[in-house]
Amino acid sequence: MTIHGRMTSLVVEAPSAPVPVENASTSLPPVQVRPSTAADDAARDRFVEAHPKGTVFHLAGWRRAVRRVFRHEERDLLAFRGKELVGVLPLMRCRTPFLASHLVSVPYGVYGGPIGVDRAVEHALIADARRLARELGVGRLELRCFEDPGVAELAPSTLYSAFLQTVPDDPKDVMAQMPKRARAEARKAIEKHGLELSEGDWYLGDLVELFGAAKQGLGSPGLPRAWFQALMEELPGKVVLHLARKGDLRLAATMSFVSNGVFSFYYIGNTPEANREFSATNFLTVKLQEWCAARGVKTFDLGRSRLDTGPYQFKKNQGFEPTPLAYRYDLVKSKELPSFNPSNPRTEKLRNTWAKLPPSVARMLSGRLMRYLP
């Protein structure tokens, strides 16, 4: 997507040791790429927030939170034409338990990859990331792109889809645009069960507790409280916490992000009966869209799901259409694409074992294990 000329120019320190990359247009200066530093964070964030493909995962605060909690190594890249910042590639070196490492854009995020004022800039960033991957001797370079970056040498993955749709201007129109069955479930949650939505930072403890328990029930490690706390502190004004409840009964807690006009329904923890008896996630999908409509947030992102899973089908049943994600990989030393996920039958025994652990043991181990599952 070419957007050159629509964005505010950002002038920061130019590359001291630039890596020139041939540009298709001879009327423009060559693209130069250099590593990002903490001193670039403010200018980098202004660029991301002005870019139509910028996400919360591209912001410097996400990188700072990852570094602070999981100690992965910053390797972000910036692209320039002269002194003008024209592209960003968030990138971190993530180590495995066996001392190997991978370059990932972005750890713990569902979107990443390069964003630039034009395709030439994005290709320059990818070329430098591929060079860096070989220099560091990593297993792979992993780019969690939303759209195909158009680099034939990168291996594609079709495992995931995203689910986004436009939010109506009027909160009253949210339910009207839902499929009939989903609309009936939402009304039942509200009218029959009396579910209510509350908002506040004080629900952090509820989120940590419910998220960890729900993940263990699925056979997966949770995330430490320090991670959620770091996101709140490093992304001020972009994090919102909600609680779905029936009177004093907690059913589900969520952490969402609001950035670049997009509401990302990202983390959810729920009790075993939340959906079985009360349609809590259905309720949240409606109420959070109404929350967006009341505040003028125009895009609702219901999150990433693996193809043909229960969550994938749930999102389709809510009226959201899947958009296949264009994840791309440069296999440097690795022989195959990453496959350590619940869709792989080989992980079934591990998931069953994890689900049976005492909750206190699962909580203690989760933070350590999640360092290696970025």
Could you tell me if residue 2 is inside a domain?
no
Could you tell me if residue 280 is inside a domain?
yes
Domain boundary among 125, 153, 181: 153
Q: What is the pLDDT of residue 15?
A: 45
Could you tell me if residue 371 is inside a domain?
no
Q: What is the pLDDT of residue 66?
A: 98
204 and 348 fall within a common domain: yes
Could you tell me if residue 144 is inside a domain?
yes
Percent of the chain whose pLDDT exceeds 90: 81
145 and 195 fall within a common domain: no
Average pLDDT in the 202-212 region? 97
Quick one: tokens of 132?
């860096």
Q: What is the pLDDT of residue 38?
A: 96
Residue 7 has pLDDT above 90, yes or no: no
Average pLDDT, the chain: 91
Domain boundary among 126, 153, 180: 153
Could you tell me if residue 91 is inside a domain?
yes
Indicate the number of domains in the chain.
2
124 and 175 fall within a common domain: no
pLDDT digits (tens, 9 = 90+) for 266-324: 999 999 999 999 999 999 999 999 999 999 999 999 999 999 899 999 999 999 999 99
Which among 88, 143, 147, 86 has a CA at the least distance from the CA of 112? 143
Q: Which segment of 57-66, 115-124, 215-224 scores lowest on mean pLDDT? A: 215-224
pLDDT digits (tens, 9 = 90+) for 17-59: 344 444 444 588 899 999 999 999 999 999 999 999 999 999 9
Q: What is the pLDDT of residue 340?
A: 73
pLDDT digits (tens, 9 = 90+) for 233-261: 999 999 999 999 999 999 999 999 999 99
Kind plus residue range of the DSSP H or E element containing 289? helix 280-295
180 and 93 fall within a common domain: no
Q: Order across the sheet with 31-35: list the strands.
A: 19-21, 31-35, 77-81, 84-89, 115-116
Which among 132, 37, 139 has a CA at the least distance from the CA of 88? 37
168 and 133 fall within a common domain: no
Is-contact 263 292, C-beta < 8 A? yes
What is the distance between the alpha carbons of residues 129 and 279, in angstroms, rounded to a whole number?
A: 44
Could you tell me if residue 86 is inside a domain?
yes
37 and 140 fall within a common domain: yes
Could you tell me if residue 373 is inside a domain?
no
140 and 173 fall within a common domain: no
357 and 287 fall within a common domain: yes
pLDDT digits (tens, 9 = 90+) for 315-348: 999 999 999 999 999 999 999 998 777 777 777 8
Q: For residue 306, what are the β-bridge partners?
A: 160
pTM over 0.75: yes
Domain boundary among 122, 153, 184: 153
Q: What is the pLDDT of residue 28?
A: 85
Crossing angle for the helix pair 225-234 and 359-370, nearest 10 degrees? Answer: 50
309 and 178 fall within a common domain: yes
86 and 188 fall within a common domain: no
pLDDT digits (tens, 9 = 90+) for 185-203: 999 999 999 999 999 999 9
pLDDT digits (tens, 9 = 90+) for 98-112: 778 999 999 999 999
CATH number, position 247: 3.40.630.30
What is the distance between the alpha carbons of residues 149 and 270, in angstroms, rounded to a whole number?
A: 36
Q: What is the pLDDT of residue 100?
A: 85
Q: What is the pLDDT of residue 26?
A: 58
195 and 126 fall within a common domain: no
**What residues make up the domain containing 171?**
161-322+341-365
Could you tell me if residue 372 is inside a domain?
no
201 and 248 fall within a common domain: yes
Residue 178: pLDDT band (50, 70, 90) is very high
